[in-house]
Chains A and B, each alone.
Chain A
Amino acid sequence: MTGQPGMIFYGLFVVCGAIVVAYTLWMIWEERR
């Protein structure tokens, strides 16, 4: 029991953040097109 949950825990936050950023960039790109 290290108290360090690892990638299964932190990875989810990273991926969720990445999706939101990617969606926002896509939205900006669509609007400029």
Chain B
Amino acid sequence: MTPQIWVFVGYFFVLCAIGWYSLRATRNEEDYWIAGGNLGWFTGGATMAATHTSAGTFVGTIGVMYAAGWSFAWVLLAIPLSYWFMVAVLAPRFTKQKELTLPAFMETRYYGKGIRGLAGGIILVATVIYIQAQIVAAGLIAHTVFGIPTAWGMIGFTVILLAYTVVGGMIAVVYTDAFQLVVMSVGALFAVPLALRQVGGPGELLSLVESAHPLVFTWETMPATLLLTMGLSFFLGGIATPEKLIRLYAMKDLRTIRRGILFAIIMILSLNMLVFALALCAIVLFPELPTGDLAMPMVATAVLPVTLGAILLAAITAAMMSTVDSLLIVAGSALSVDIYQNLLDPDVTPERRMWIARVGILVVGSVPVILLLSGVGDGELVQFIVLLFTALMAAAFVMPVVGGVVWRRATKEGAAAAMVGGVAATFIWEIFGVASVEPVLLGFLVSAALFISVSLVTEPPPERALEPYFDA
């Protein structure tokens, strides 16, 4: 076996071992969906940072910076600000009334099972399609590393992912995420000095990069509207995506959340800075690439020695897996808890709930790869949906979640209108709008307008819905 294969075999073995340990640690539904709600700052922060960092960071960010230069890096600032907002505004209310899922929050705050089903449905469809896109990327990496057909790569990635997520639930996700964060950091920490040495050091890099790409350190490469709306998309998408909110329930208390988020912010900023450095090196070393998305694979295969290159590719895989496993938990819980148990079979016994949970994850994890193998959702459609995912989540959930905990007058009807209208407006802008403004802007504005206006013209919410989140 080649060193590359050894690196990947060892890495997958650790993931499966964590899955096996987590099976024994999972005793009830709370353990399975929110890791018992008892995570400390380190595991909580690590899983937040690992979930945040996806193939988008390792391949997409490098790709955009390769083409557009340093001005894009400033969009990064939206990320710590969104986490700060989450901790300061949402976490104090979320920790008062713990739930198992985001749609369950919707039921408590908006006093209805229907709205919970609606939220579950939006999450389910959006995440399944997003997972599909990540599986396509994983298939391409497997093809690069092992030389196997892309389809086998996609199946292998899904099988390993499901092996630990189905058996170990959120506990497995959290501990594998901590491990994946280590793999990502090691990959990036080894890659940057070696790439810098090829270029001739940091000083050389800065002068060479300007010769290769004269506009790299100017504001001229991206329109200001695009930069600002991208920042808005990162900020809003960061606040109310279900896979992040659920981690507020998973951490022990408010104090732990504050510390965990500080750790996550430091890790996310550092990883992004390392990735930015790799992007600058790629501009100097490979100035003629046809697309920026090739920059990272080129660094991994042409700059680094074989074993270190494999560790960097493992880091990219780690970034994808740690995001997809968290989305599987969110989509699986939407299917088993919020749709099946909530709407179809409310009297199910606790023992059967655990089985339904595992079947739910198995279903939502298998559907994307089955669809892909039968030729549905491949190619351009997938790229289009990846970019749309954050915008959709922001348009659907920011107003109902944030408005729900800061505004007493917010009603069920307002929240439902905001979700449906926000999703519809995002799609409409994506299809008919101008490319220099991200679709999140219209989606969010429509969602906010509907949320406020519909809430004001409908019956005020009952006291029992407000009591968990507001002081009397």
Contact = CB atoms under 8 A, between A and B. Distances in A.
B76 A12 contact: yes
B441 to A, nearest CB: 23
Interface in B233-268: 255, 258-259, 262, 265-266
B84 interface: yes
A15 B273 CA distance: 13
Q: Chain B binding site: helix, strand, loop or mixed by DSSP?
A: helix
Contacts of B73: 12
A31 B255 contact: yes
Nearest to A22: B84
A3 B206 contact: yes
Interface in A13-33: 13, 15-16, 19-20, 23-24, 26-27, 30-31
A6 B206 CA distance: 11
A5 B217 contact: yes
A13 to B, nearest CB: 8
Contacts of B218: 8
Contact of B207 (A1, A12, A19, A31): A1
A2 B84 CA distance: 37
Given A6-B217, A9-B217, A19-B80, A24 B207 contact: no
B52 to A, nearest CB: 15
A20 B80 contact: yes
A5 B283 CA distance: 15
A22 B218 CA distance: 28
B211 A1 contact: yes
Nearest to A3: B207
A1 B210 contact: yes
A23 B217 contact: no
Given A19-B77, A20-B80, A5 B262 contact: no
Contacts of B211: 1
Nearest to A31: B255
B470 interface: no
A31 B460 CA distance: 35
A5 B70 contact: yes
A6 B88 CA distance: 34
A5 B210 contact: yes
Interface residues of B, number: 28
Nearest to A24: B262
Contact of A23 (B74, B206, B262): B262
A16 B259 CA distance: 18
A27 B83 CA distance: 13
B301 interface: no
B81 interface: yes
A3 B74 contact: no
Contacts of B219: 8
Contacts of A9: 70, 206, 217
B454 to A, nearest CB: 34
Interface in B153-208: 203, 206-207
B269 interface: yes
Contact of A3 (B80, B203, B265): B203
Nearest to B266: A20
Nearest to B210: A1
A3 to B, nearest CB: 3
Contacts of B217: 5-6, 8-9
Nearest to A30: B258
Contacts of B214: 1
A31 to B, nearest CB: 7
B262 A27 contact: yes
B71 interface: yes
B265 A23 contact: yes
B69 to A, nearest CB: 9
A20 B76 contact: no
B259 A20 contact: no
Given A8-B70, A8-B71, A15 B258 contact: no
Contact of A15 (B77, B216, B265): B77
A4 B216 CA distance: 12
Contacts of B210: 1-3, 5
A6 B217 CA distance: 8
B76 A27 contact: no
Contacts of B262: 20, 23-24, 27
Contacts of B266: 20
A6 B210 CA distance: 12
B80 A31 contact: no
9 contacts: A1-B207, A1-B214, A3-B207, A12-B74, A16-B269, A23-B80, A26-B84, A27-B259, A31-B255
